[in-house]
Structure 1
């Protein structure tokens, strides 16, 4: 879930980055568009200024050409350029003034150009009036003074400067337009690359999220399957515990009831024997029959000692059974202390405790430890292992050297397997489960015991969250296996949960 949340945050960051890039690109594109539009407007305006200025200069030249042709030939047909230029002049002058007024860098040129045009047209019109009045020589003399040429040169300079400046501004605007276009291309490429990167990263994150969701789904299915398995296991454990409770109740009622029945029976015999003794002891001088004397002597010599002996044996039996029950009960209530338990030293200690007995049979003890040291309750493992090696010696096959092997191996990731193998008497297949029941023993009963050792080991293992199992064949030996959780702390956490 944490991984999924991190990926979600990563997606949000990428989407935010993509949004910022889009905003930046939109802002930059808008600014470039406005700049490009403004530059284009300036180009159009400067081109129009250049065109009007050129047309005005061309019209002045037409007027001057018509004037000179008329004065040289005295032919009115040469006035056609003059008339055409004069007809265009008002419109061109107004158009140029309007354009120059809106262009502050050369707005001051409008008045100067207007003044020069008025002066030049005034001289031309004056010469034409003289010529039309018949003073052609006077008109020509006025032209020869050079006043008109000087004014025309000034007009060419002013209009040429306007045209030159317009050309410069057009060139600058075109360069600016190219720069803006280049920036637009750069921004477009950067934006495309950035968006592709963001989209690619977002797609990658999305695919990871999909894989994480798929993994989470698989993990959920696995957990559900594990939960079902654990529920089934818990149900099985409860059924097994219930069966054990029932067996335990039966054992307690049966095994404790037997000594009680004996005690009750021999108590009745004590009462019967007591009557014979009372008849003899409490006769108070009365004559006692030989039968009463014989019964009293028999009661004192045999019946009473026998009854008392059986009663004492029964009470000892009951005391042993009760102590065994209390021992298992105390193990269940004892607080477990998880710690790292070094297996090899613990196994070597258990083996050393029976080494001399094994050597007396001519046998040997082998140890093989490949498992990591578990975190468990040391006392429980010591007691369980000690009980198993004691049983191996206790139930060794007569006349056969005892071979005892103790191995510790990993069992999956969560368990440790401790095996105690012997070549002793072995156990019948039908008794494999029975040997773990309280007060139950199997095979030849030639060894002392109450039948609580293996029941005690099973209790210890189950308190640790483990188990004990056995495989055995009569006459070939037995292998008892302690299945120990690798970390008791996790077991205790699950139990608390």
Structure 2
């Protein structure tokens, strides 16, 4: 859920970024195109201004050339270009005024040119009129004094100023167009790079999302596999627990029934003995033969004490069995208290508590443990270690000195502790039997009721672990205790599973 939300947020951000980038590119391109268009329009206008100024000067030159040709030759044909030029001058001036309208840097010059053009046209017209009136000498005198030439030179300079200014503006507009073109080019390049970057980031986000999806899928598969494994383990635990319950029920009923059968049998003997004693005691003076007297005396002296002894022994056996069952039951119901413990310290404490027995057996105990810490129930661990060390002492091989070695190490989320001895060993067929309640293996030359290792396995499983044995007859045994390194985690998980 979080992964999908992150992907949606990233995609939305990339979409917003892409749209913003696209809008920025479009806006920049539009602005540059608009500036280019304005620059182009200005360039066209400047070219028109320049052309209008040049055309006006050309018309004035044509008019002046026609006027002078006519004055010098009197040939009417020279008046034709004069008249054509004069007819176009007014429209040319008007065009120049329109092109420079609203442009102060031109308007003053155009206004001055307009006035001087009128003066020039009047000067040309007046000389032609005087020539037509046969005032040739006066006309030539006007031409010779240079008034018209001065006026023409002034017009030439002013029109040239307009042309020069137009050329300058044209150059500026061309440079602006080149700049705008370069800017547009770099914007397009930047846009292309930005688009590539956005696409790359988008592709990266998509790939990361796909990778995360695959990882999540793998995690789900792993979780499912772990869940299936846990179900299998729980099923195996349930099957094992059911088998243990059945075995426990059989053992309890069998071992408790045996003392009851003995009690019932000896109760019958008591009844028989009491009958004989009753005949003797309640004879009320009736004569008894020697056999009856002997039977009564044997019943009182032997049968009754023997029956009572067997009954007492059977009840003691039943009491021992019941106490053993209660002990295992109490340990199973006891609330575990996880705490930080040092495995080496626990092992050393257990060995120290039995050191007098180890010394009496001329034995040695070696602890080969580094820094191994666990969070577990201290009391349960102490009981397990003490019981295993006690068994190693009890079932030692008499032909060699006892040697006990304790190892411990981390194995994943568990701690494995191995207690080895060089005792008499255990037959492979008895590896599971020795952990059953009231069951023992090998020669029964030691006192015991067969609950020690059953108690140890019960404690180990209460801690979330188990215990196993590896042994060889005549060489020794190695008991491996495997418990979680963090019991509190196991208890929390079990609580969650129960809820």
Same fold by TM-score greater than 0.5: yes
Quote the residue 1:28 is aligned against: 28
2:92 is aligned with 1:92: yes
- Aligned equivalent of 2:174: 174
Q: Kindly indicate whether the alpha-carbon contact (under 8 Å) linking 1:15 and 1:202 is maintained by their aligned counterparts in 2.
A: no
Q: CA deviation at 1:11?
A: 5.4
Per-residue deviation, 1:319: 1.0
| Partners of 1:444 and 1:204 in 2: CA distance | 73
Q: Tell me, yes or no, if structure 1 residue 328 matches structure 2 residue 328.
A: yes
CA contact (8 A) 1:361 1:400 kept: no
For residue 78 of structure 1, report the CA deviation from its aligned partner: 2.8
Aligned-residue offset at 1:5:
6.1
Say if 1:371 and 1:410, in contact at 8 Å, map to a contact too: no
Q: Which runs of 5+ in 1 are unaligned?
A: none
> What are the equivalent positions in structure 2 for 1:97-108 lying under 5 Å apart?
97-101=97-101, 103=103, 105-107=105-107
Q: Displacement, 1:371? A: 6.1
Give SS of 1:44's match: helix
User: 2:216 & 2:152 partners in 1: Cα distance?
Assistant: 92
Aligned to 2:349: 349
CA distance in 2, matches of 1:368, 1:12: 61
Separation in 1, partners of 2:437, 2:291: 49
Show the 5 A alignment for 1:395-410: 395-410=395-410
Structure 2 unmatched ranges of 5 or more: none
Supply the distance in 1 between the matched residues of 2:312 and 2:4 (Cα, whole angstroms).
Answer: 73
Question: CA RMSD of the aligned region, Å?
Answer: 2.4
Q: How many residues align?
A: 496
In structure 1, what is the equivalent of residue 427 of structure 2?
Answer: 428
TM-superposed CA distance for 1:147, in Å, is 4.1
Counterpart CA distance in 2 for 1:6 and 1:483 is: 43
- Indicate the residue corresponding to 2:40 in structure 1: 40
Shift in Å, 1:206: 3.2
Q: What is the alpha-carbon distance in structure 2 between the residues aligned to residue 370 and residue 201 of structure 1?
A: 51
* Gap change, CA 1:344 and 1:5, over 3 Å in 2: farther
Question: What is the alpha-carbon distance in structure 2 between the residues aligned to residue 119 and residue 288 of structure 1?
Answer: 192
More deviation in 289-298 or 54-63?
289-298
* Equivalent-residue separation in structure 2 for 1:445 and 1:9 (angstroms): 75
Partner of 1:124: 124
- Normalised by the length of structure 2, the TM-score is 0.92
Per the alignment, residue 217 of structure 1 pairs with 217
How far does residue 449 in structure 1 lie from its aligned partner after superposition? Answer: 0.9
Distance 2:325 2:423 in 1: 28
Q: Which residue of 2 aligns with 1:60?
A: 60
**Structure 1 residues 371 and 469 mapped into 2: Cα distance closer, same or farther (>3 Å)?**
farther
Are positions 1:458 and 2:449 aligned together? no
* Matched residue, 1:200: 200
Shift of 1:2: 6.2
Q: Is the 8 A contact 1:100 1:109 kept in 2?
A: no
- 1:108: how far off? 5.1
Secondary structure, in 3 states, of the residue corresponding to 1:221? helix
SS of 1:478 mapped into structure 2: strand
- Aligned counterparts of 2:405 and 2:4: Cα–Cα separation in 1: 51
Moved more, 435-444 or 143-152: 143-152
Distance 1:236 1:348, change over 3 A: same
Q: Is contact 2:86–2:121 with CA below 8 Å preserved after alignment? A: no
Aligned equivalents of 1:487, 1:5: Cα separation in 2: 35
